[in-house]
Amino acid sequence: MEQNKKKKVAYFYDPEVGNYYYGQTHPMKPHRIRMTHNLLLNYGLYEHLEIYRPNPARDDELTRFHSDEYIEFLRLITPDNQHEHLRQLK
């Protein structure tokens, strides 16, 4: 890389992030991420940034940080069947 070349700040954004509700007590507020992205676009700041869209993590990537059992649990649980898994949720 050239020494005089300016570096750009990079961030990852997926427009689908705002379509999920984590619950009232969860610290993740996806609408804030969407609002921030829209501000970057509307003020033209995106021209100074590298914006990447993340790819969904593969199983082998997920299991680097989480147990196989936890990944399987996440595959199985839904809002409709969570009452069946209350013991595991605690």
Tokens, residue 82: 């969570």
- The overall pTM is greater than 0.75: no
Compare 76 and 86 and report the one with higher pLDDT.
76
Tokens, residue 87: 């013991």
Q: What is the pLDDT of residue 85?
A: 79
